Amino acid sequence: MSVFGSWLRCASGLFFLPRLTLIGFLAIGLAGPLAAQNTGESAGSADAIRPETILYCGQLLDVRAGTMLGSHMIWIADGKILQVVPSRSGAAVGEHPHAEVVDLSAHTCLPGLMDMHTHLSSELSPRSQLDRVQMNAVDFALRAVGFAEKTLMSGFTTVRDLGDAYNLTVSLRNAINAGRVDGPRIYTAAKAIGTTGGHADPTNGILPHLVGVPGPAEGVVDSADEARKAVRQRYKDGADLIKITATGGVLSVAKNGQNPQFTEQEIRAIVDTARDYEMTVAAHAHGIEGMQRAIRGGVDSIEHGTLMDDQTIELMKKHGTYYVPTVSAGRFVADKAKEPGYFPEIIRPKAAAIGPKIQDTLGRAYQAGVKIAFGTDSGVSPHGDNWKELGYMVEAGMTPMAVLRSATLTTAMLLRVDDQVGTLEAGRWADVIAVPGDPTEDIGRMGQVAFVMKDGKIYKHPGS
């Protein structure tokens, strides 16, 4: 990663500043304890007792079986799904007279969507470089609150955040979990880990005398020992997982967007240490050699994977590595590369050359049987437009059902919480969304989310 987002660290690629810069922001109570990591329990537990809710769904998507079911009732209490039964049962309402009843008979109910690659602390614009030196931590944090709400209201109830600054998304996660602000359930990598001058070096493009020399605490490492220290620092900071930048990036202020930037030994040190702390590892990678080092090194997912060849595909299948494509980011930066002045000139050729390739790569990976997990790199593309990735994936050759499974059950498996979320089944967290019509026939319906529930709390009603 670089000064920008994950592929990209986007405007969240803030340069090295003292951690105490954020103290004033934390003091106003937005964050809660940094140690309050996602531990497998449902977030949003601040509302200890919730009223019962009954949802009447015109159709219900069974992502596990890959089938669309007819009319169903979902009974919810205390943030969890208690029962899912066919048809509209008047007896159920009579047995639970105090339940809130929501009529979704004109809608299809499906599990809340999950985006495995976001950057809630930023959003790309022509001002992104200036934002790094003109906005402070609180500015970014307050803006992130709005981005989080947009994401939730578009139907995404869970996200991975793969690169921020100031540990901002650790604080945002804790605030959402405590019920202080509205947003998706966040699993965050906090500050990504890169190498000196690499895609996650937050001092790229900044005059050296202004920023000092970053080290493992700031996510910059140059040896296996430093790599281990950086992982342990992420754990101390409250991160849920680890993000590394195995190759150069499109939005780095650097000429190469695909060269390998870690040795395999360094990657193995990161993965082995992450395992000690029960953390998964996501690897930003565009070029083949960097991808293959990361896969052999044991990472859980490859992000972007732009120049993936057949040998890399076979390697991913052998190791069971997930692929998170982020077509949205590729298309967005390719379009913006055509606009003079949107990017620094060193970035434009990379954005134009690499961006358009991701969709084709996704199609080949899917046909070959690689495990596909949904991810957008939102923060590069606009927040709230995450759903557009679903259509891009269909364009790449995936079926609508496969795409919807990639954004629900498969993403839950990547997060290792598929026993809690990702399907509409009894005992799961009550993350439910609804759209008009049948999204397996028209994936564009996913841009019309009319109902959003997370942890049993309703955030959006039809017509609201």
pLDDT tens digits along 382-421 = 999 999 999 999 999 999 999 999 999 999 999 999 999 9
- Residues of the chain under the 70 pLDDT cut: 1-51, 88-97, 203-211, 252-257
Q: Do 271 and 401 belong together in one domain?
A: yes
The number of distinct structural domains making up the chain is 2
Q: The CATH number of the domain where 84 resides is what?
A: 2.30.40.10
Residue 391: per-residue pLDDT: 98
Domain annotation covers residue 307: yes
Domain annotation covers residue 298: yes
Kind of pairing between the strands at 432-436 and 100-111 = antiparallel
Residue burial 166-184, b: 16+ Cβ < 10 Å; e: rest? bbbbbbbbbbbbbebebbb
Q: Do 127 and 245 belong together in one domain?
A: yes
Q: Do 131 and 30 belong together in one domain?
A: yes
Residue 30: per-residue pLDDT: 43
- Give the phi and the psi of residue 284 in degrees, each rounded to 5: -60, 130
pLDDT tens figures, 83-126: 999 975 544 555 666 788 999 999 999 999 999 999 999 998 88
- 115: which 2 tokens? 């985006």
CA distances for 416 relative to 279, 295, 316, angstroms: 10, 19, 18
Q: Do 192 and 231 belong together in one domain?
A: yes
Residue 44: per-residue pLDDT: 42
Q: Do 98 and 144 belong together in one domain?
A: no
The angle formed by the CA atoms of residues 320, 42 and 218, to the nearest 5 degrees, is: 65
Q: Do 338 and 445 belong together in one domain?
A: no
Q: Do 151 and 87 belong together in one domain?
A: no
Q: Do 106 and 184 belong together in one domain?
A: no
CA distance 384 to 148: 9
Domain annotation covers residue 5: no
State which residues form the domain around 432. Answer: 53-111+424-460
Cβ 58 vs Cβ 102: under 8 Å: no
Cβ 14 vs Cβ 166: under 8 Å: yes
Q: Do 256 and 123 belong together in one domain?
A: yes
Domain annotation covers residue 368: yes
Cβ 213 vs Cβ 15: under 8 Å: no
Residue 131: per-residue pLDDT: 78
Q: Do 102 and 165 belong together in one domain?
A: no
Residue 87: per-residue pLDDT: 76
Q: Do 106 and 121 belong together in one domain?
A: no
Q: Do 237 and 353 belong together in one domain?
A: yes
Q: The CATH number of the domain where 353 resides is what?
A: 3.20.20.140
Domain boundary among 382, 397, 415: 415
CA distance 335 to 305: 19
Residue 347: per-residue pLDDT: 86
- 66: which 2 tokens? 């890959």
Domain annotation covers residue 250: yes
pTM: 0.87
pLDDT tens figures, 372-382: 999 999 999 99
Domain annotation covers residue 185: yes
Domain annotation covers residue 45: no
Domain annotation covers residue 377: yes
Cβ 128 vs Cβ 343: under 8 Å: no
CA distance 193 to 427: 36
